[in-house]
Amino acid sequence: MTSTLMLGAVAYDPKVVTIWEGFRAWFADRDFDFDYLLFSSIAMRDSDCDLTSVVVVRADSGIADPTELKGLTVGVGAVDSPQATLLPLSYLRSLGVSPGIDVTIRRFDALGGKHGDHIGGERDAARALMAGEVDAACMIDGNHLLYGREGTLPSGTTTVIGQTGPYDHCNFTVIGDPHVAKIERFLALLLGMSYDDPEVRPLLDLEGLKEWRAGRVEFYAPLERAVDEVGFYDADGNVVAADYRP
């Protein structure tokens, strides 16, 4: 096992190489074995950008603000769901409502280990809301609209009482230099896909997007904060959250 301390860093700008090369040299001068790996977000779906999560109650509940949930039960998705668990619970904390202390959290775990890509837990929480088993439910805003269309949350039966700030979801990530020829070619082809192309349009529809966009990382800050608040990962990046089952 190597004794090198390896740090993962996001290559959000070319200066990142200069920064961490400088730090590596500084540590080396002090006999500390340190190195780094760069991660670059190169592309993402348009449907993964600028998302929000919402806290929803029944329209007849009389609850108008998230702070009024104290003493009540909130339904969330899977333990590792960014949009239905981690981010909305972080939002509640920011309002002074502590999950597990001020409110009881009822988690609906469905296919944990998929990091929120499986929305079964969100739908189960929505159903529990309508059945009166929980007083509020957390979900991504798009799914709130979806559940209205499909009848899980019939139109007019729910009210949004809180909404997180914007965040991003999935992306294509590479380790190391993103400017190697093969990656640049892949990215050029990906970003060149057109929704007007009859050959690729059915695939884009299946994947839930109209266009691919260049990757970005700044809108992952809310999720970083959310996982840090609950100690979801240890210092080595291992998942240590209680009840996590991949």
pLDDT in tens, the chain (246 residues): 457 888 877 776 778 788 888 888 889 998 999 888 888 889 999 999 999 999 999 999 999 999 999 999 999 998 999 999 999 999 999 999 999 999 999 999 876 655 555 678 899 999 999 999 999 999 999 999 999 999 999 999 999 999 999 999 989 888 877 778 888 999 999 999 999 999 999 999 999 999 999 999 899 999 999 999 999 988 778 888 877 776
- CATH number (1.10.3720.10, 2.60.120.580, 3.40.190.10, 3.20.20.70) of 52-165 reads 3.40.190.10
Domain ranges of the chain: 5-47+171-215, 52-165
Q: Are strands 73-76 and 104-107 parallel, antiparallel or unpaired?
A: parallel
Q: Work out the number of other CB atoms within 10 angstroms of the CB of residue 145.
A: 13
pLDDT at res. 1 = 43
- Sign for the CA dihedral angle at 136, 141, 147, 148 comes to positive
Whole-number Å distance between alpha carbons of 204 and 212: 9
